[in-house]
């Protein structure tokens, strides 16, 4: 019979994910994300242009407010791009994001059930892909890393799949 131990750990001696070397998303993804935003807000902008000459009370003020919010969303999207990145390490994969609220998600490689490389229509035009990571217990992906060059996304998927095969063999 094995003796049970449960040793206390010192927090300051644990490895810190913030010190990991995070890889930035591909520069072309900034353009792709701005195109996605534009596609979402294009109907609103079109409505504003088409109704500009109508006699709607406070129309100009409403449109200025809406366009200000849209501009803010574009500005936040631009600056948040530079805060996003991923770190693939020997035993885990991490993704960080957030301009105002910083978020780091880490998934141990031995908990990954499967991976997908997704090429959206706009990202495909720019040679980019999204890597989706699935762990047990859910139908949706647990981590999505956008804006990775196609070849690099496939290499990440292959690396993770190889790790999954090694863990299954053990």
Domain with residue 128: its CATH number is 2.30.29.30
- Judge if 89 and 165 occupy the same domain: yes
Give the residue among 49, 53, 47, 45 at the shortest CA–CA distance from 69: 45
- Judge if 131 and 90 occupy the same domain: yes
User: Is 43 among the domain residues?
Assistant: yes
User: Is 20 among the domain residues?
Assistant: no
User: Is 131 among the domain residues?
Assistant: yes
> What mean pLDDT is reported for the chain?
87
Range of the domain at 61: 28-80
- Judge if 49 and 125 occupy the same domain: no
pLDDT, average across residues 146-163: 94
DSSP letter for each residue of 1-59: -PPP------GGGS--GGGS-PEEPPTHHHHHHHHHHHHHHHHHHHHHHHTTTS--TTH
- Judge if 58 and 94 occupy the same domain: no
Total-model pTM:
0.80
Q: 94-117: string of b/e by CB count within 10 Å (b at 16+)? A: bbbbeeeeeeebebebeebeebeb
User: Is 152 among the domain residues?
Assistant: yes
User: Is 91 among the domain residues?
Assistant: yes
User: Is 7 among the domain residues?
Assistant: no
- Judge if 163 and 93 occupy the same domain: yes
pLDDT tens per residue across span 37-86:
999 888 877 877 777 767 777 777 888 888 899 899 999 999 999 999 99
- Judge if 92 and 60 occupy the same domain: no
Question: How far apart, in Å, are the Cα atoms of 61 and each of 65, 68, 69, 121?
Answer: 6, 10, 12, 36
User: Is 9 among the domain residues?
Assistant: no
pLDDT at 15: 72
pLDDT, average across residues 15-31: 87
- The total domain count for the chain is 2
């Amino acid at each position: 019979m094995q003796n049970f131990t449960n040793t206390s750990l010192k927090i300051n001696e644990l490895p810190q994910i913030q010190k990991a070397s995070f890889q930035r998303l591909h520069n072309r993804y900034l353009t792709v994300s701005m195109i996605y935003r534009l596609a979402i807000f294009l109907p609103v902008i079109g409505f504003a242009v088409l109704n500009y000459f109508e006699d709607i009370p406070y129309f100009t003020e409403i449109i200025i407010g809406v366009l200000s919010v849209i501009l803010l969303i574009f500005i936040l999207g631009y600056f948040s791009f530079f805060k996003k990145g991923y770190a693939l390490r020997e035993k885990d994969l991490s993704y960080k994001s957030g301009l105002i609220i910083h978020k780091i998600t880490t998934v141990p490689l031995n908990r990954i059930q499967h991976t997908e490389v997704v090429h959206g229509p706009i990202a495909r035009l720019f040679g980019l892909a999204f890597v989706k990571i699935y762990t047990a217990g859910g139908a949706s992906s647990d981590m999505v890393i956008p804006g990775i060059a196609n070849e690099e996304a496939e290499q990440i998927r292959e690396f993770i799949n190889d790790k999954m095969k090694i863990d299954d063999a053990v």
